[in-house]
């Protein structure tokens, strides 16, 4: 019986450049998939943070409950006080300061103030539906802590003296710190100023940070100029005469 020799063809050599190109394509594919996965997780986290839980509208029945972030119960609340009708970089600076004090940033403002004081009715500068998204966008600047906002009925607090108001912050809201602008006034008929707030809060063991005003550099103007070119980049001023640049849609202002 004659044995037959099996012929095995020599493999065709593959150029190293082709192998390197294939490995590069595989590596790029892995990177793209990893990036997409990260973006999806970030988007989901942002969507979760943008829930209505970030903004509380209290009634006369429940406004006294403590400020509480269920997701971060290890952090004590540090509250920024103001109107916050617009949400601009001056307000964001208050939240950043609250985070620097080691707490959970909160913004507290009043609802129904215009009706009580007889102001002309108008739409808010920032729509309620936009507020959670803006607050979520401030989280990175606030050490990863998404600020929350609470609206308290103005009628519940308007007649409180400065001493009574600070007692509410300490005993009802249980805040560990307060952040205000240097021109902040509080109490019945605006009897208290930032310095008095600091003195009264100290009696309750509450830290107070007083921040400098962020103005628009206009001589003779004091305070935060809402809807201005310096704060928003675009948009009209409060009198309806806008600076150069495209105007934002009415009542849809967003902070930088």
Q: Per-residue DSSP letters for 17-75?
A: HHHHHHHHHHHHHHHHHHHHHHHHHHHHHHHHHTSGGGEEE--TTTTTSPP--GGGTTS
Please tell me the predicted confidence (pLDDT) of residue 102: 95
Q: Which residue has the tokens 């004590």?
A: 76
Each residue's pLDDT tens digit, 40-72: 444 344 433 344 589 999 999 999 999 988 778
Q: How far is CA 86 from the centre of its chain?
A: 12
When mean pLDDT is compared across 20-34, 98-112, 134-148, 224-238, the lowest value belongs to 224-238
Is residue 130 within 8 A of residue 86, CB to CB? The reply is no
Each residue's pLDDT tens digit, 106-123: 999 999 988 888 888 888
β-strand partners of 179: 80, 209
SS3 assignment, position 121: coil
Please tell me the predicted confidence (pLDDT) of residue 160: 96
pTM value is 0.67
Domain ranges of the chain: 47-216
Q: How confident is the model at residue 31 (pLDDT cuts 50, 70, 90)?
A: low
Considering only residues 89 and 241, tell me which one the structure prediction assigns the higher pLDDT. 89
Q: How confident is the model at residue 219 (pLDDT cuts 50, 70, 90)?
A: very low
At 3, list the tokens: 């044995």
Q: What is the CATH number assigned to the segment(s) 47-216? A: 3.40.50.620
């Amino acid at each position: 019986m004659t044995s037959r020799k099996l012929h095995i063809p020599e493999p065709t050599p593959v150029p190293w450049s082709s192998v390197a190109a294939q490995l590069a394509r595989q590596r790029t594919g892995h990177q793209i998939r990893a990036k997409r996965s990260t973006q999806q997780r970030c988007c989901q986290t942002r969507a979760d943070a943008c829930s209505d839980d970030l903004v509380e509208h209290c009634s006369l029945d429940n406004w006294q409950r403590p400020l509480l972030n269920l997701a971060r119960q290890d952090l004590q609340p540090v509250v920024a006080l103001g109107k916050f009708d617009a949400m601009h970089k001056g307000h964001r600076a208050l939240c950043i300061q609250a985070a620097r004090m080691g707490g959970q940033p909160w913004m507290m403002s009043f609802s129904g103030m215009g009706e009580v004081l007889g102001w002309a009715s108008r739409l808010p500068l920032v729509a309620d539906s936009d507020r959670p998204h803006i607050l979520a966008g401030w989280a990175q600047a606030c050490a990863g802590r998404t600020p929350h906002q609470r609206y308290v009925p103005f009628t519940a607090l308007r007649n409180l003296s400065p001493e009574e108001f600070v007692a509410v912050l300490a005993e009802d809201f249980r805040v560990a710190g307060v952040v205000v602008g240097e021109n902040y006034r509080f109490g019945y008929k605006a009897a208290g100023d930032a310095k008095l707030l600091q003195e009264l809060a100290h009696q309750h063991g509450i830290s107070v940070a007083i921040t400098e005003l962020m103005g628009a550099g206009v001589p003779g103007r004091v305070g935060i100029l809402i809807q201005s070119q310096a704060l928003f980049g675009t948009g009209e001023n409060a009198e309806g005469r806008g600076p150069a640049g495209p105007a934002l849609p009415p009542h849809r202002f967003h902070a930088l």
